[in-house]
Structure 1
Amino acid sequence: MHITCPHCLHKAHITSSNDLNDEKTISDLYCICLNPDCAGRFVMQLAFQRWLAPPAISIVQLAANLLNTLSKAEREALLQGLPPG
């Protein structure tokens, strides 16, 4: 991951992090600027925002959950390519 110093806009190094929630979707990143003329230390926040494409395992799990809600006859009809009914 590339971090930029907000003061001088040079590269910065993450020295440590601190998760702010149990889901580990929000973290504080403790950073130091690699520009020797700046050497600023700062904290940036990293947060998960949204999925652009869900992980494949989620899609498979979703399909399995949906199939489990169908009756045996509906599942058989689905596998044969027929509308359930």
Structure 2
Amino acid sequence: MTVYCPNCHQKARITSRNNMNDEKTVADLYCSCTNKDCYATFVTTLGFKHYLNPPLQSTMQLAVNLLSTLSKAERLALLKGAID
């Protein structure tokens, strides 16, 4: 992951991280600019937004939950590809 200095727009180095929640999906990143003419230090925020593809474990659990709501006949028909 690359962080850029908000002042000179050159690459910055992440020097530390402070997680803002227990899930570690939001964090303050403490950064230092690597440009010798700038050397600004700053804090930026990193946050999880959304999945493009859910994790496999979640997908499998969703499928299990959906299948458990079907009757035995409906599950068999689904396996045979007969459900529209």
Query: If the length of structure 2 is used for normalisation, what is the TM-score?
Result: 0.86
Shift of 1:12: 0.3
Shift of 1:68: 1.5
Alignment root-mean-square deviation, CA:
1.7
Who is 1:63 aligned against?
63
Deviations 1:6-43 (A, max 9, x none): 01111100011011112211110000011122111110
Unaligned 5+ segments in structure 2 are: none
Who is 2:6 aligned against?
6
Hey, what's the Cα distance between the residues in 2 that align with 1:8 and 1:77?
62
Who is 2:38 aligned against?
38
- Once the two structures are overlaid, the 10-residue window that deviates more, 71-80 or 42-51, is 71-80
Who is 1:28 aligned against?
28
Unaligned 5+ segments in structure 1 are: none
